[in-house]
A and B are shown apart, each in its own frame.
Chain A
Amino acid sequence: MPELTLHELSVPGHRGPRLMPLDVPAQGIDRLLPADRVRKEPAALPEISEPTAMRHFVNLSTLNHHIDKAIYPLGSCTMKYNPKLNDEMARIPGFAGIHPMQPDDLVQGALAVVAELHEWLRAIMGMPGITTQPAAGAQCELTAVLMARAYHTDRGDAREEVIVPDSAHGTNPSTVHQVGYRVVQIPSGPDGCVDLAALERAISPRTAAMMLTNPNTLGIFERQVGTIARLIHDAGALLYLDGANLNAMMGLASPGAMGFDFAHINLHKTFSTPHGGGGPGGGVLCVRKELEPYLPMPVLEQDGDHYRWNVDRPRSIGRVHSYYGNFGILVRALCYMRSLGASGIGEASREAILNANYLKARLKDAYAASHEGPCMHEFVLSASRQKARGVKALDIAKRLLDFGMHAPTIYFPLIVEEALMIEPTETETKGSLDAFADAMLQIDRESAEDPDRVHAAPTRTPVRRLDEARAARKLILSWQDLEAEGAGG
């Protein structure tokens, strides 16, 4: 056990800072709280000195992998470096100290930040309607499909199905289920893109919407997106962009111009707000004009230079998150966009594409690529050749940890056997990309010459290979579970 829990570190009587003696008359707890709200027994809080607490968290941070430590090429997740200026801006007392219940008049500065963020994102997405309420991409999907249902219901048009390609992220079909629609899955063509003939067969008067990821999860731009939009719209249905891969085209191509009716943005991916343990996330949903009435409420409105939240939205689907979404994240995203400037945003996407293509070129002789030709900001390899030697994608991922690097996404998308999905992002230097490519090439050689070494990995991490099946079968999610288990480590 590399680091004990706070409860295990607890020593009765240990304290952090001592409180000053009271200089006002003491009030009994019974005078301050109703009797049924007072604990019968003291809370079982850990008793710990400040230095012990500090060391605990610093030690934990060194056990973890994070983007401040090394490359994190987790495909579909856009693990780019998060500039520290973003955090500094979010920590300005005027932002950090406000309370969401303060009246609009007292938080005009904060509302101006939200409004400016809206302007930037509207311009990038080419769509007028916007909400920053959702906490992440998956919640944007849910919000949009609920809005699609409200839109069709308003037209007296009961629709039942949502079309989802087989390369989609699992959140797409689960969203559809959650709303009560049926998933119609369509296969990808040999080029990895939507098979138009299959799409035409799947479209019917029952189709409520289609969810499309562009570039798709294979890192390929769906060139037929204009035709897809026409087919979907001709059927009276709506087209949703899963914007997880916006880092390939921000400032370069506009989802509104491609014909999307909805598009989501994961601020924690594309716009450099922390994720992967550092969250919370930030989801933004952009919509075409006709869909604006259904947006979650309240909606930010501007009256001259005065901002206010409008709650008088009779056709809104309601709230999907408290207050304005995760406000501190919105400040960070705006800071990032302002730092890059309009031209820098497009340049960041170009460099993300360049970095991915460089890595793909260095790795394509050793690992089978899912598809030939250039990619967008990420690409998918298959460990099929290595598997024939007994080394699976999972083993390769574990071995990479020994090099101090995070592994790519594995076994997604589901349509590629032994998938390794690699997204380096624009914030890696050529040196860092080369180090990653060298590690991958060494692991390929090991799979032929010394497969046991790969099977034994990781050997240089704080913990060795974890029993993922046991972890999933026997969920221990809190120190109480741990105590109940009596395992203690």
Chain B
Amino acid sequence: MNVPRELRYTKEHEWIKVEGGEAVVGVTDYAQGELGDVIFVELPAPGTRVAQMKAFGTIDAVKTVSDLFAPVTGEIVAVNGALKDDPALVNRSPYKDGWMVRIRLESPAEVNALLSADDYEKSLGAHA
């Protein structure tokens, strides 16, 4: 299972990559494997404000529908439009082409509270 070192994680299986004042968010390789084939990703419109650890969208897979949780508070500045036509990008490339939203950080300190790659892997120990 792939858990890139340079990313931060939530225990709800989102990853976040901070780039300057913004952050890219997606779901982890483990999450996509557990969900199985992704059928649809519902994301908010750019301009929407999201709050840390509140649901901001849903991900539909064959097995189940799950909420997506915002790792940080801020405004959505972009969403990955490619997921509309090809939601399977989440399965094929969870950390790159399958990204979901870009958030403008409101309080960068929130990032420090997120899990490191090691901690995330440890939290998976219980499941995997």
Interface residues of A (CB under 8 A from B): 170, 394, 410-411, 414, 417, 468-469, 472-473
**A411-B63, A414-B64 as given contacts; A469 in contact with B39, CB under 8 Å:** yes
| CB nearest neighbor in B for A467 | B37
**In the bound complex, what is the Cα–Cα distance between A472 and B40 (angstroms)?**
9
Interface status of B127 (Cβ within 8 A of chain A): yes
Q: Is the CB of A472 within 8 A of B39?
A: yes
- Give chain A nearest CB distance to B27 CB in angstroms: 16
Q: Is the CB of B39 within 8 A of A411?
A: no
Q: Is the CB of B63 within 8 A of A417?
A: no
Q: Is the CB of A473 within 8 A of B127?
A: no
Interface status of B43 (Cβ within 8 A of chain A): no
Interface residues of B (CB under 8 A from A): 36-40, 60, 62-65, 87-88, 127
Chain A residues near B88 (CB-CB < 8 A): 469
**In the bound complex, what is the Cα–Cα distance between A414 and B65 (angstroms)?**
10
A-B contact pairs, 23 of them (CB 8 A): A170-B65, A394-B36, A394-B63, A410-B63, A411-B63, A411-B64, A414-B64, A417-B127, A468-B37, A468-B62, A469-B36, A469-B37, A469-B38, A469-B39, A469-B62, A469-B88, A472-B39, A472-B40, A472-B60, A472-B62, A473-B39, A473-B40, A473-B87
Chain A residues near B127 (CB-CB < 8 A): 417
The 9 closest A-B pairs by CB, nearest first: A469-B37, A472-B39, A411-B63, A468-B62, A473-B39, A469-B62, A469-B39, A411-B64, A414-B64
Chain B residues near A417 (CB-CB < 8 A): 127
**In the bound complex, what is the Cα–Cα distance between A472 and B39 (angstroms)?**
7
Chain B residues near A473 (CB-CB < 8 A): 39-40, 87
Chain B residues near A170 (CB-CB < 8 A): 65
**In the bound complex, what is the Cα–Cα distance between A394 and B35 (angstroms)?**
12
Chain A residues near B62 (CB-CB < 8 A): 468-469, 472
- Give chain A nearest CB distance to B97 CB in angstroms: 17
| CB nearest neighbor in A for B87 | A473
- Give chain B nearest CB distance to A410 CB in angstroms: 8
